[in-house]
Amino acid sequence: MSTSTPTPPTSAQVGKPVGKLLIPRKDAPPSPFTRAQAVWLFVRLAYMTMGGYELAVNDGPLVRLYHRITGTQAGGAWCAARQMFGLFLFGDTGRLMEFALNAYCPDVATEAERLGVLSDVPEVGSLVLFFENVPGEGWRYAHVGAVLKIDGDNVSVDSHEGNTNTDGSRDGWQECYKHRAVGPHVKFVHWHHLIPE
């Protein structure tokens, strides 16, 4: 029995639409979750999808499901789309409906700032945004994950990240469990604060 990790083939699907959601977010059945329940389910979902991977470059059945949430196309980066997939579950709960589900990391940061939920302090369940120097673009929020655990003194977090790899690339091909330092290049999105306790 082989235990090697599969390597995705080159994609012939890059840039092809993945289709719209079958139901608008506002028309989904009501979510009965409290803030604590939403965080528990969001984190549980992260553990359940850990190890999921592309079948081609930024493409495959799982990745296309994530792209549908944000209306993006096959071939596009999907780290943020993966996390928006989790938030979609709670779309009609409290003020979370006001949080636009974006696949572009700078837009995720802008939404969090607009709604007053962007922070320097980690909380379990929060999104974690990484500010990086992107070749040809300069410094911007370029990768996002979800906080699963926090070191007691808030110096590091364990996170779930999509569109990465074991080395921590922001353009990898799987969902991974990562250990990340907290510092000035990292911000946290407390989306769950938009849900009543």
Query: pLDDT tens digits, the chain, 197 residues: what are they?
Result: 444 444 433 334 444 556 666 667 777 777 788 999 999 999 999 999 999 999 888 899 999 999 988 988 888 999 999 999 999 988 778 899 999 999 999 999 999 999 999 999 999 999 999 999 889 989 999 999 999 999 988 899 999 999 998 877 788 999 999 999 999 999 999 999 999 98
The answer to the question of residue 190 being in a domain is yes
The answer to the question of residue 21 being in a domain is no
pLDDT score recorded for residue 22: 61
Cross-sheet strand order for the sheet of 174-181: 118-119, 186-189, 127-134, 138-150, 156-164, 174-181
The answer to the question of residue 2 being in a domain is no
Domain that includes residue 188, residue range = 33-194
The answer to the question of residue 73 being in a domain is yes
pLDDT score recorded for residue 3: 47
The answer to the question of residue 47 being in a domain is yes
The answer to the question of residue 40 being in a domain is yes
Per-residue burial over 30-66, b = 16 or more CB atoms within 10 Å of its CB, e = otherwise: ebebebeebbebbbebbeebeebbbbbbbbbebbbeb
CA 150 to chain centre: 17
The answer to the question of residue 27 being in a domain is no
Tokens of 41: 């389910």
pLDDT score recorded for residue 89: 86
The answer to the question of residue 130 being in a domain is yes
How many structural domains does the chain have? 1
pLDDT score recorded for residue 18: 65
Cα separations in angstroms, 159 against 63, 69, 104, 111, 128: 19, 21, 19, 21, 8
